[in-house]
Amino acid sequence: MTIESILNNSKELAEKMRYHSDLPSKNILNFSKEAEDLRQYQYEHSIHITEKITPKLYRLFQLVSEKLFIPSNIVEGFVYASNDMQAECFSAHPENCAIRISSALIEKLTEKELGFVIGHEIGHFLLNHVRDLDQSTDHEGLIQKRAQEISSDRIGLWVCEDINIALSAIIKIVSGLRDEDLGRDKLSFMSQIKEVNKDFDRSHLSHPPFILRGRALFHFAISDFFKRNDVNYYDADQIKKIDNRIKRDQEEYIDNFSNYEINKLIENYSFWYVVKYTLQDKKLSKMEQSLIERKFGKQKLKGLINLLSEYSQSELNSFLTQKIKENKDRILDKVPKRFNIIENEIKEFCKENL
């Protein structure tokens, strides 16, 4: 039996929880020497979670694996000494993943809260995040990384089965507080969103702020799929609506400035492309002027008319070529994967209207 068939149910479940902005990668490493080296390092410098050395943690790993339909020999666990509240998943092969957890995390989280964290890390394995060759940090790459965290949080929630437990784990990781310091109403944590300033660029972050991760989990927790804890109640339309709410949050609180900048770049690129296409016959008819005004505004048209009066034909052609290249390069720097779609849309517009 192949590893793909062994993990088929696990991956099928994980895919149902994949947040729609978390795009499946087509470039997956079959073997990662870096991850294998890190695994070997853990055997030398961490404690391997086994039934004899760490029985409680070992049983927890078994329970989480069972909850996600994963055979017991697939997931390894390691504990290392650290005051930081950290956990990490790495995978050298498709048939194995290892999770390292800091001692501080184990000391401060309950067993069910740890289940949320372990489930989250296994989610990165099941959804191929940890062996994804594309680790770019441009605008698109960071959106993808943030989306991956939302997907994996859902898998952690599926394991612990309770939004309050998941939020409690998040609160403890953020604050470092213990149970005795916290009240029972974990949902009130999300009221902090009222104090978060939307007019701030957070698009450089690889993880969503914890307050947004909590909100994303809350949205997912109201789905029939999660409430029933049964794949038979999965409703693609319902999950799509939930994902759209989460996406609005991400755009409103994280990507608002970057999206504005990117939209301006696309608008400028479109304008110069349309202008060059329009002037192939060296004329700017009344119909073409009207079209440019409707699509780009009166100021853009006025600026273009002034430009035509100042430049010779050869100068104008050179100027337009340069403008198109400048804006294309900026778009490629920000959203390289979207560029072909953007360009094709502009070409279609020109063919249909000019």
Kindly report, residue by residue over 262-317, the tens digit of the pLDDT: 999 999 999 999 999 999 998 899 999 999 999 999 999 999 999 998 988 889 99
Tell me what pLDDT residue 2 has.
56
Separation between Cα atoms, residue 167 and residue 246, nearest integer Å = 16
Per the CB < 8 A criterion, the answer to whether 135 and 157 are in contact is no
Helices within the chain (DSSP H only)? 3-6, 8-16, 33-45, 55-67, 103-108, 111-126, 139-160, 163-175, 210-221, 224-228, 236-253, 256-278, 286-296, 298-310, 313-334, 339-353
Encode pLDDT of 102-150 as tens digits.
999 999 999 999 999 999 999 999 999 999 888 888 888 999 999 999 9
Please state, in angstroms and rounded to a whole number, the distance separating the CA atoms of residues 28 and 132.
5
Q: Is the pLDDT of residue 27 over 80?
A: yes
Distance CA 150, CA 127 (A): 12
pLDDT at 10: 95
User: Residue 1: is its pLDDT beyond 60?
Assistant: no
pLDDT at residue 216 above 60?
A: yes
Strand bridging mode 47-48 / 96-102: unpaired
Which band of pLDDT confidence, cut at 50, 70 and 90, is reported for residue 6?
A: confident
Model confidence at 200, in pLDDT bands (50, 70, 90)? confident
Among candidate residues 110, 207, 107, 99, the one with its CA nearest the CA of residue 153: 207
* pTM reported for the whole predicted model: 0.86
- What are the DSSP calls for 129-173, one per residue? -TTBS----SHHHHHHHHHHHHHHHHHHHHHH--HHHHHHHHHHH
**Residues 232-274: pLDDT tens digits?**
899 999 999 999 999 999 999 998 888 888 999 999 999 999 9
* pLDDT at residue 56 in the model: 97
Return the bridge partners of 72, or none: none
Residue 162's Cβ-count burial label (10 Å; 0-12, 13-18, 19+) is middle
Mean pLDDT, range 63-86, rounded to an integer: 95
Model confidence at 60, pLDDT cuts 50, 70, 90, reads very high
Whether the CB-CB separation of 173 and 104 falls below 8 Å is answered with: no
73 has a pLDDT exceeding 90: no
Cβ partners under 8 Å of residue 347, min gap 6: none
What is the rounded average pLDDT of the residues 190-205? 88
Are the CB atoms for 101 and 77 separated by under 8 Å?
Answer: yes
Would you list the domain boundaries of the chain?
A: 3-254, 259-353
- pLDDT for the residue 136: 85
Going by pLDDT thresholds of 50, 70 and 90, the confidence category of residue 51 is very high
Confidence grade of residue 229 (pLDDT, cut at 50, 70, 90): confident
How distant, in Å, are the alpha carbons of 313, 341, 348 from that of 344? 27, 5, 6
Distance, first Cα to last Cα, the chain: 59
pLDDT at 70 over 90: yes
Asked if 115 contacts 160 with a C-beta cutoff of 8 angstroms, the reply is yes
pLDDT for the residue numbered 3:
56
Q: How far is the C-alpha of 213 from the C-alpha of 218, rounded, in Å?
A: 9
**Most distant pair of Cα atoms in the chain: their distance:** 85
Identify the CA nearest to 274 among candidates 329, 327, 330.
Answer: 327
What pLDDT, on the 0 to 100 scale, is given for residue 197?
Answer: 87
